């Protein structure tokens, strides 16, 4: 793993997003991205395995920070609360000040089914990593997976709202609203299914 270089990564991502907008994801080459960013192909491939990965550069940093927050959490907290606090802290630290570029990145991904599948795969891997981190705190495997999955559902609901042009609230606040909305939804329907 190369050392994380925020300057180069941010420049490559900004250049890539501009080009994907101008000419589409499929027709953009790595050579064009590095030329626009004023960097070399070597630098590009130090950070990203391929053109698709330039859109997912933040994923591994996000995951590392979230797992670190979970490992450091108060042992007495219930698992879902541990994950919600971790997501809130990482939203403040890594996402809130990058709102425009993160929303732009998401719009590019949402417009391309292949990229959306990769995004969903990254989210599933993050869910599994969160569940593993919860199990290391001593929890049951099924409860850990469930807490990780519910938290990631709240994250996705909050993220959709946060990336809308007319939404101004912080991701942390939207996360809290999303969890509350999940609870309201579930409370309205938790009855036995008819046979």
Cα–chain-centroid distance for residue 122?
Answer: 8
Least Å from the CB of residue 3 to a copy of itself: 26
Environment class of 135 (CB within 10 Å of its CB; exposed 0-12, middle 13-18, buried 19+): middle
Residue 135 is given by DSSP the state H
Q: Which residues make up the interface to a copy of itself (CB under 8 A)?
A: 78-81, 84-85, 88, 113, 116-118, 120-121, 123-124, 142-143, 145-147, 149-150, 153, 156-157, 160, 172, 175-176, 179-183, 185-194
Please name the residue that has the structure tokens 């969903």.
120
Q: How far apart are the first and last CA of the chain?
A: 54
As a whole number of angstroms, the distance between CA 170 and CA 181 comes to 17
Least Å from the CB of residue 42 to a copy of itself: 27
Is residue 106 within 8 A of residue 127, CB to CB? The reply is no
Least Å from the CB of residue 98 to a copy of itself: 20
Least Å from the CB of residue 136 to a copy of itself: 18
Least Å from the CB of residue 141 to a copy of itself: 11
C-alpha to C-alpha distances, 34 to 9, 18, 31, 40, 58, nearest whole angstrom: 11, 12, 5, 6, 18
Q: Which of 5/97 has CB closer to a copy of itself?
A: 97
Q: Which of 26/187 has CB closer to a copy of itself?
A: 187
Least Å from the CB of residue 96 to a copy of itself: 13
Q: Which of 57/88 has CB closer to a copy of itself?
A: 88
Q: Which of 19/174 has CB closer to a copy of itself?
A: 174
Please name the residue that has the structure tokens 């994250």.
155
The tokens for 94 are: 């890594």
As a whole number of angstroms, the distance between CA 136 and CA 44 comes to 35
């Amino acid at each position: 793993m190369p050392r994380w270089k925020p300057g180069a990564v941010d420049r490559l991502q900004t250049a890539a997003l501009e080009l994907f907008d101008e000419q589409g994801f499929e027709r953009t080459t790595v050579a064009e991205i590095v030329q626009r960013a004023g960097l070399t192909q070597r630098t590009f491939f130090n950070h990203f395995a391929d053109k698709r990965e330039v859109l997912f550069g933040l994923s591994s940093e996000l995951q590392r920070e979230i797992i670190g927050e979970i490992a450091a959490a108060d042992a007495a907290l219930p698992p879902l609360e541990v994950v919600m606090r971790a997501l809130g802290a990482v939203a403040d630290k890594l996402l809130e000040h990058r709102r425009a570029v993160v929303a732009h990145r998401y719009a590019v991904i949402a417009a391309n089914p292949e990229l959306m599948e990769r995004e969903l795969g990254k989210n599933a891997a993050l869910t599994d990593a969160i569940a593993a981190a919860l199990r290391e705190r001593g929890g049951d495997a099924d409860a850990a997976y469930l807490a990780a999955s519910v938290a990631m559902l709240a994250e996705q609901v909050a993220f959709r709202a946060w990336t809308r042009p007319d939404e101004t609230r912080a991701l942390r606040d939207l996360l809290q609203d999303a969890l509350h909305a999940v609870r309201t939804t579930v409370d309205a329907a938790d009855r036995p299914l008819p046979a």
